[in-house]
Amino acid sequence: MGLRGIDTLGSLEGLVVGVRLDLNTPLKDGEITDDGRVHAALPTLRELAARGAKMVVMSHLGRPDGKPDEKYSLAAVAKRLQELWSGSVKAVSQVSGAEVQSALSEVAAGDIVLVENLRFDARETSKDTEERRAFAEELAAPLDCVVSDGFGVVHRPQASVVELVEAKPSSAGLLIEAEVKVLEALRSNPERPYTVVLGGSKVSDKLGVIDALLPVVDKLVIGGGMVFTLLQAQGHATGSSLLEADQIETVKGYLSRASELGVDIVLPTDIVMAESFAADAPSTVLPIDQLESGPAGKNAIGLDIGPDSAQHFAEIIASSRTVFWNGPMGVFEFDAFAHGTRAVAAALTEVAGLSVVGGGDSAAAVRRLGFDDDQFGHISTGGGASLEFLEGKTLPGLKVLGW
């Protein structure tokens, strides 16, 4: 079981290579606010250029509902990619057909033709295999081979992720290879102590990875909105904080199983409780057994872990040899409630072994809070894909590449 690498494609001199990337970047007023995924794509593009290929780059952006929508155009991505690329980046307004063929005739080896958002065609995400295959054949028409390097979508059975890879000689790109290598190290024989830090809003989003990792980890550190369901499972009142009441009994089962396995589940001891969900909301730090004792009482909302918890979490992380983190500790988009997330990120930069930021909001948080990518062992480009990989699920975009 191993991914097909670029070397398996043979000589690429003079060939047209389709490159499926994940350039799903956040935009504000038509400008990219986090270009991490663009930078992550560059090593594979440079490798293909060095081998003499022309590249047709494909990606999705957002959820345009299967039809063209200007606010989901890849125009901003094309602009940023051209700023970072030494050759030509020619953006076209279609995803396939004559315009793509014409653009290819105008560019040289080492240049890029960037097609429009794949999800402007409903067949990209269709549940009908034949519809996806027909779209993939259109995408494949001008291509000699395909390199799949959009790790953030390998858990999705989509036309450009599965059927396009089947339609032509294909391989994984350097990013997917790197992601798989790092995540496999987390899943099997990690250096110890091994700590997993989970946050984000919903505990239901993390149950699969908790179930898979409990037999593997030494400590499971939990913050973010999901923590209030666990605190309620322990009998604590949590005001008007985010709660998944239907998951309380399930959570109790995981707490019991962790105890049986000797896994230390670490929860906050204090919470920043705010009077409303707002950047400037008045807030109070309260111990977990008194979360309704502040001015807002039962209407209080937990928006961050407290300072004592942040320090404790940071000490656990910094003393670990392997750490995987997925999900912020609070509403990091509001400066007043970013302290816990910042403390976790800073602690990860001090890990002597392998530190992995698990994509999604965690990756966005470290960049927003001023950290550099190279301060961490690895920043994953796929939050959902990372979690599903660690859960041991079969990911269709990896299976089709030989994994």
111 annotated as belonging to a binding site for a ligand: no
Residue pair 86/99 in contact (Cβ under 8 Å)? The answer is no
- For residue 1, the model assigns a pLDDT of 57
User: Residues 370-402: pLDDT tens digits?
Assistant: 999 999 999 999 888 999 999 999 999 999 999
What is the token pair recorded at 224?
Answer: 């973010």
Q: Is the pLDDT of residue 359 over 80?
A: no
Nearest-angstrom CA–CA distance, 19 and 165? 10
- For residue 254, the model assigns a pLDDT of 93
Q: Is the pLDDT of residue 40 over 60?
A: yes
Q: Is the pLDDT of residue 343 over 60?
A: yes
Residue pair 364/354 in contact (Cβ under 8 Å)? The answer is no
Q: Of 326, 374, 376, give the one whose Cα is nearest residue 352.
A: 376
What is the token pair recorded at 270?
Answer: 């204090």
299 annotated as belonging to a binding site for a ligand: no
Q: What average pLDDT does range 1-9 have in this prediction?
A: 91
Tell me which residues are annotated as active site.
37, 202, 360, 384
Residue pair 16/52 in contact (Cβ under 8 Å)? The answer is no
382 annotated as belonging to a binding site for a ligand: no
Nearest-angstrom CA–CA distance, 229 and 234? 9
326 annotated as belonging to a binding site for a ligand: no
119 annotated as belonging to a binding site for a ligand: yes
The CATH code that applies to domain 182-391 is 3.40.50.1260
Name the residue ranges covered by the structural domains of the chain: 6-173, 182-391
How would CATH label the architecture of 6-173?
3-Layer(aba) Sandwich (3.40)
4 annotated as belonging to a binding site for a ligand: no
- For residue 189, the model assigns a pLDDT of 84
User: Residues 250-290: pLDDT tens digits?
Assistant: 999 999 999 999 999 999 999 999 999 999 999 999 999 99
Q: Name the average pLDDT for the chain.
A: 95
